[in-house]
Structure 1
Amino acid sequence: MLNWESMFATRSSRMRASEIRELLKLLDRPDIISFAGGIPDPALFPDQEFKAAYADIFNSSAVNSALQYSVSEGYRPLREWLVKQMAALNIACELENVFIVSGSQQGLDYLGKLFLSPNDTALVTWPTYLGALQAFNAYEPNYDQVTPNGNRTPGSYKAQASAAGGKVKFAYLSADFANPTGETVDQAGREKVLALAEELDIAVIEDAAYQSLRYDGTPIAPILATEIAKKGHINDTRTIYCGSFSKTLAPGLRVGFIVANAPVIRKLVLMKQAADLHSSTINQMAIAHVAERGFDAQVAKIKSVYSHRRNLMLAALETYMPAGTSWTKPEGGMFIWVTLPKGMDGAALLAKSLETARVAFVPGKAFFADGSGENTFRVSFSCANDRMIEEGIGRLGALIASEIGG
């Protein structure tokens, strides 16, 4: 019998199955009300627009280019559209600053590979996006907590990283409607993160996957836009903006993008060439076709539906959750973060919920780099209809109340 474990690289020991990927399997069980998957509602996909886009490609001379190898930087018309889109966010950039990846998850993997040597430190929020931890884990880092409005000194970060055998390399955060909490970093917090990055001389990775999904409140400039305003040009900035079409148009096409200073983009292009040469050309062309003809209308459609579902879930939580629990009140995105009384365990609650209440959610511990957060969990409203929200939160609230009382 081959001992494969002895042959694998040491980094493989840091790779873990995603609890969320496993929970997504529950979506096919009709007896389970699932708030687990933070995925778009497929009923809202612009399927007819994509059908027309692919038909146009196959019925034109462009089909030969669509099926051929292409440049690693990405499909030029899509990058040109993104330059205009970024300008609307006060992120002035050129083609050299825009790079297409196979979903923003690939972008996070590349950035981990680019910056992290074994024992280096990545600064992340507590909690943070589980997919980011999975992407970075392969490069054997340590983690330290970045608190946008906290008061830790740069020296304390340096000292801790040095004691762990490496250097601080970047701060990663989702500034708008973060996965998993739904919370948004205010302007003061964004400026503090930039100031910390300047003191430590590190990069800032801004995960903007949900940036388009604001339902109410006042928009806040992206971290990259704030830094450009201070420094004058994107090529003088340290912020790396990661975006995606997965939450707005279609996740299955796996098209994301990175906007950053040109030297970083050039390094990422080399990684792309070594990994998969380029993202799917035909999918990039289809995304460009649909985005150019109706991106704003599509975003308006999904925002109307998701904001309604968010409002229903917040109301249901207010109605059914017992005293001692609390939750975030996001201005956008797809998630609400629930905190249970101290001593309760989200994973144990999930096991009991699946058995009795028949409601799925994601235990919070997986989102903490230090393994804390046992008494938290994430619920998503993006794929839940009115009945599911009312009934599911009602059942969950009753279960939690019985656990507190018991």
Structure 2
Amino acid sequence: MLNWDHIFATRSSRMRASEIRELLKLLERPDIISFAGGIPDPALFPDEAFKAAYADIFSSDQAAAALQYSVSEGYKPLRDWLKGEMAKIGIPCTADNIFITSGSQQALDYLGKLFLSPKDTALVGWPTYLGALQAFNAYEPNYDQLTLGNRTPESYRAAAENLGGEVKFAYLSADFANPTGETVDLDGRRRLLKLADELDIAIIEDAAYQSLRYDGEAIPPILALEIAKKGSIENTRTIYSGSFSKTLAPGLRVGFVVAAMPVIRKLVLMKQAADLHSSTINQMAVAHVATRHFDQQVAKIRAAYSARRDAMLKALEKYMPAGTTWTRPEGGMFIWVTLPVGMDGAELLARSIETEKVAFVPGQAFFADRSGANTLRLSFSCANEAVIDEGIKRLGRLVSGAMAVAA
């Protein structure tokens, strides 16, 4: 067999299979209770609305345009609708400040390509979204832990220079983050803006879950805070990345970026070189459904996911042994569990699949340095309350047994 390794670019050595995508295969096993995939419940998709949308497109004079090449920036009516939605959350902008991507994952890939040269540093959470690490890894960066406490800009700068590069951006999900479910408070967002100004770096604000708030007071997006401070989106360094995957449907692969025009222009050039434009007909369908049903759809999924979150928190309190802790998210799809030091989430998963038939994601995958072995991520989005109770009961039994053996 031909040995390709010496032909592949060096960046290919940093490409890894998604541990989560592999775990999604377990969803096909009827005997497994899965808290692994951070995916929306297909039973909640607005399928009838999309059926009507595609029918309307094909029964109108839009049919030819829907099947034709289109502009790289994205379908204008969809960007116009997004402009109105952005204004509602404190992000006044024009349609030209909005760029449509093939899911927000493509946005992360493009932004990694745009900012990272080999050996540059990206500031990320410890833990952070695995998909972001996968997207950035191809551009051969280093990672440093983004903290919003007492670390100085000079320490970040010096650490990056010692590794042969510069700090280029800070990446985070400020609302109900994947994997922890945690939210950055208002003071933390302001501290991040101050840090970015002092380092002269970009901020990538991953807002994939922002619409999924179930309780608590909404906090302005980082980009909104920066616009309020600096007067215009054209004066900002925050790049807001959003998606319809968690609210409408992930299979259509429609995401978007909101940013100052110098960033948008570069992203458009990347799009032209990569795939020309996102699916025209899918953008049209999303625009059709969003303009007619978005608020109703979001209200429906909030009610469903909120009940499931409550059920999982209740079950964790009931079944998990002393010595374990977990987050209490105000929204999103995830709860982050920390096990006693010395326990290994990957080993626990292997035993769980074999004995208790419960799947989850070991937390180590979400750490750039592969630490966090004693953590795991649970998703409550695709299980009803009864299944959640039974699954957490089994998981608690497994953790209790593992702790007893360790003792």
**Bucket of the pairwise TM-score, normalised by the shorter protein:** over 0.9
| CA displacement, residues 150-178 of structure 1 (integer Å, 9 cap, x when unaligned) | 11000000100000000000000000000
**AA paired with 2:192?**
V
Alpha-carbon separation, structure 2, partners of 1:299 and 1:353: 34
In the alignment, structure 1 residue 251 sits paired with structure 2 residue 211: no
Gaps of 5+ in 1: none
1:115-166 CA-partner distances (Å, limit 9, x unpaired) = 0000000000000000000000000000000012x11000000100000000
| Secondary structure in structure 2 of the residue aligned to 1:191 | helix
Partners of 2:44 and 2:128 lie apart in 1 by 27
Amino acid at match of 2:29: R
Equivalents in 1 of 2:39, 2:250: separation in Å? 8
User: In structure 1, what is the Cα distance between the partners aligned to 2:385 and 2:190?
Assistant: 39
Taking the TM superposition and a 5 Å limit, the aligned residue runs for 1:16-31 are: 16-31=16-31
Q: Kindly provide the amino acid, as one letter, of the partner of residue 160 in structure 2.
A: A
CA distance in 2, matches of 1:151, 1:241: 25
Is 2:127 the counterpart of 1:127?
yes
In 2, Cα distance between equivalents of 1:24 and 1:269: 32
**Residues 288-329 of structure 1: per-residue CA shift (max 9 Å, x gap):** 000000100000000000000000000000000000000000
The 5 A counterparts of 1:7-406 are 7-148=7-148, 150-406=149-405
Identity rate of aligned residues, in percent?
A: 77
Q: Distance in 1 between matches of 2:293 and 2:371?
A: 43
Task: Please say which of residues 169-178 and 378-387 is displaced more in the overlay.
Answer: 378-387
Q: Residue 5 of structure 2 aligns to a residue in which SS? A: helix
Q: Structure 1 residue 385: deviation in Å?
A: 1.0
- 1:95 deviates by 1.4
Amino acid at match of 2:129: Y
Shift of 1:405: 1.0
Question: Counterpart of 1:245 in structure 2: which amino acid?
Answer: F
For 2:293 and 2:2, the matched residues in 1 are separated by 54
Letter in 1 for 2:122: A
Query: What SS does the aligned partner of 1:7 have?
Result: coil
TM, length-normalised to structure 2: 0.99
Q: Once the 2 structures are TM-superposed, how far is the Cα of residue 3 of structure 1 from its aligned partner?
A: 1.0
Structure 2 letter corresponding to 1:206 = E
1:2 is paired with a residue of what secondary structure?
A: coil
Distance apart, 1:185 and its partner CA: 0.1
The CA deviation string for residues 318-366 of structure 1, in whole angstroms up to 9 with x for no partner, is: 0000000000000000000000000000000000000001100000000
Segment drifting more, 380-389 vs 222-231: 380-389
Query: 2: CA distance between counterparts of 1:158 and 1:298?
Result: 44
In structure 1, distance between residues paired with 2:337 and 2:316: 9
Aligned residue type for 1:121? T
Superposed CA RMSD in Å reads 0.4
Unaligned segments of structure 2, at least 5 residues? none
Distance 1:33 1:351 in 2: 14
CA distance in 2, matches of 1:387, 1:230: 47
Letter in 2 for 1:22: E
Specify the code of the residue in structure 2 equivalent to 1:291.
A
Cα distance in 2 between the residues matched to 1:164 and 1:356: 45
The AA in structure 2 aligned to 1:39 is I
The superposition leaves residues 160-215 of structure 1 with CA deviations (integer Å, 9 ceiling, x where unpaired) of 00000000000000000000000000000001111000000000000000000000
Report how far residue 96 of structure 1 moved.
Answer: 1.4
Deviation at 1:90, TM superposition (A): 0.6
Q: Distance in 2 between matches of 1:151 and 1:107?
A: 30
Amino acid at match of 2:180: T
Amino acid of the structure 2 residue aligned with 1:43? A
Deviation at 1:388, TM superposition (A): 1.2
Distance 1:306 1:282 in 2: 29
Name the aligned partner's letter for residue 70 of structure 2. S
